[in-house]
């Protein structure tokens, strides 16, 4: 097969950032995705409906001329989030609220430090039909970073799912066999997103031959047995698992500093890299469901009407991209060859 046409896909988890980043990140996503779930971990975080509306307008302003790309907005949960915050957000088109454990990832210091206190908010979300998106890691210093996803499942996620009837939960950017097994066996109202980096790489790609800062993301890359579990699951076509790039841009100097930030900027190559993975798995027939159908169905949104076409034409991901402010950024898979590209 040298050409592959898919229903226009959506990205169910990404980071646009704001300010000078938007003229770069929005077109990169709009080139092939019709919709995207936009993460709210800005500085300051997007914690109110007013902030959501202002951020949405910034994104729409950055769309390429003629683009019909639609940002799907989320609310950043804190221990001060109220039931009224949820109701107001829902009335203004917010589709989901994001749970970050405080300190789990980029710009999460203001997030949830006392998770049990949010159960009344979760109840309101279930009543309003607002999805809960979870960065599923504990942040206790005594828990090894490679074990934090499993610890979150055991300590918090099972209880949330069991306690709040009718709450739809997306376990985002899963990285472990434990998460695969949990989502597969959970009620139908639980799903998960999977990134290109966690399908393509494991912790050897972060640590062997020197630290590779541009492969550093959170949740961190795991051992290859976990990578294989993710790959085996997407190859089945299970509808509880769908595309979420977690594309997360940082300027080059911030990634390569003595305390480099977490995130892989994959927007310019993500769909093509997913195609490469599915081809390696002899599962190209499952890519359309993963990229274009399962997420829309889970969110209760219509599937897109258009299509995109990928062709088998090898190309090399650039070593750097220059941001509108002149700063360089290193994209995910920089300098490496990708076998598929958007026609």
Helix, strand, coil tally for the chain in percent (to 5): 40, 20, 45
Is position 146 annotated in a ligand binding site?
A: no
Is position 182 annotated in a ligand binding site?
A: no
Is position 15 annotated in a ligand binding site?
A: yes
CA distances from 230 to 12, 174, 237, 275, 315 (A): 17, 8, 12, 15, 26
Radius of gyration over alpha carbons of the chain, in Å?
A: 19
Is position 173 annotated in a ligand binding site?
A: yes
Is position 294 annotated in a ligand binding site?
A: no
CA distances from 221 to 97, 166, 179, 216, 313 (A): 25, 32, 14, 8, 28
- Distance in angstroms (rounded) separating the CA atoms of residues 71 and 94: 10
CB 165 within 8 A of CB 186: no
Is position 41 annotated in a ligand binding site?
A: yes
- Distance in angstroms (rounded) separating the CA atoms of residues 30 and 35: 8
Token duo for residue 339:
């076998």
List the beta bridge partners of residue 307.
7
Nearest to 223 by CA among 208, 201, 244: 201
Collapsing DSSP to helix, strand or coil, 339 comes out as strand
Which position among 10, 85, 178, 246 bears the catalytic label?
Answer: 246
24: left (phi over 0), alpha (psi -120 to 50) or beta: alpha
Is position 253 annotated in a ligand binding site?
A: no
Is position 218 annotated in a ligand binding site?
A: yes
Please tell me whether the peptide bond between 44 and the residue prior to it is cis, using omega within 30 degrees of 0: yes
Nearest to 296 by CA among 199, 193, 197: 193
Number of neighbouring beta carbons within 10 Å of residue 169 = 26
Is position 141 annotated in a ligand binding site?
A: no
CB 57 within 8 A of CB 38: no
Q: Is 246 a catalytic residue?
A: yes
Is position 246 annotated in a ligand binding site?
A: yes
List residues forming the annotated binding site for substrate: 15-17, 41, 135, 218, 250, 262
Residues with a known catalytic role: 246
List residues forming the annotated binding site for Zn(2+): 13, 15, 98, 135, 173, 246
List residues forming the annotated binding site: 13, 15-17, 41, 98, 135, 173, 218, 246, 250, 262
């Amino acid at each position: 097969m040298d050409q592959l046409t898919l229903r226009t896909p959506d990205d169910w988890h990404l980071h646009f950032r704001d300010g000078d980043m938007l003229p770069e990140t929005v077109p990169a996503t709009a080139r092939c995705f019709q919709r995207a779930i936009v993460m709210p971990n800005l500085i300051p975080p997007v914690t109110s409906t007013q902030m959501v509306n202002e951020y949405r307008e910034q994104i729409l302003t950055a769309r390429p001329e003629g683009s019909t790309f639609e940002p799907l907005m989320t609310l950043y949960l804190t221990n001060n989030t109220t039931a009224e915050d949820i109701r107001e957000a829902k009335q203004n088109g917010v589709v989901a609220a994001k749970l970050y454990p405080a300190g789990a990832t980029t710009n999460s210091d203001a997030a949830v430090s006392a998770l049990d206190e949010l159960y009344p908010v979760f109840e309101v979300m279930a009543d309003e039909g607002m999805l809960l998106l979870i960065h599923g890691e504990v942040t206790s210093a005594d828990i090894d970073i490679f074990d934090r996803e499993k610890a979150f499942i055991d300590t918090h996620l099972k209880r949330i799912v069991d306690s709040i009837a009718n709450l739809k939960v997306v376990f985002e950017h899963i990285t472990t066999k434990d998460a695969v097994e949990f989502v597969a066996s959970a009620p139908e109202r639980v799903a998960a997103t999977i990134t290109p980096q966690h399908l393509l790489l494991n912790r050897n790609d972060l640590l062997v031959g020197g630290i590779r800062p541009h492969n550093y993301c959170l949740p961190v890359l795991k051992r290859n047995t976990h990578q294989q579990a993710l790959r085996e699951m997407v190859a089945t076509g299970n509808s509880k698992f769908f595309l979420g790039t977690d594309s997360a841009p940082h300027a080059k100097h911030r990634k390569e500093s003595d305390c480099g930030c977490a995130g892989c900027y994959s927007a310019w190559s993500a769909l093509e890299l997913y195609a490469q993975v599915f081809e390696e798995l002899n599962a190209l027939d499952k890519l359309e469901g993963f990229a274009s159908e399962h997420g829309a169905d889970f969110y209760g949104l219509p599937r897109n009407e258009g299509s995109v076409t990928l062709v088998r034409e090898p190309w090399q991901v650039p070593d750097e991209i220059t941001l509108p402010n002149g700063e360089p950024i290193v994209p995910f898979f920089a300098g490496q060859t990708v076998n598929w590209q958007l026609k």
